[in-house]
Amino acid sequence: MPQLAPINWLFLFIMFWLTILVSAAMLWWSYKVEFYLDNKTKKMARTNINSLKSWRW
């Protein structure tokens, strides 16, 4: 197996962690709980969490 130059190892390291961070951010964003201002009570109310789930596993 050929050896990789140090710059290639650095590139692979950065690409690996960038992929992990982007995947984690997408999962967090898809399950984030949304809040809105309820006009009747003038308080913050939570939206229905079941309607926010985009992945139904």
Kindly report, residue by residue over 7-53, the tens digit of the pLDDT.
Answer: 999 999 999 999 999 999 998 888 776 666 666 665 555 555 555 55
- Residue 56: the pLDDT is 55
- Residue 57: the pLDDT is 55
For residue 38, list its beta bridge partners. 43
User: CA-to-CA distance for 35 and 25, rounded, in angstroms?
Assistant: 19
- Residue 19: the pLDDT is 98
Helix, strand, or coil (residue 48) = coil
pLDDT reading at 55 higher than 80: no
- Whole-model pTM: value is 0.53
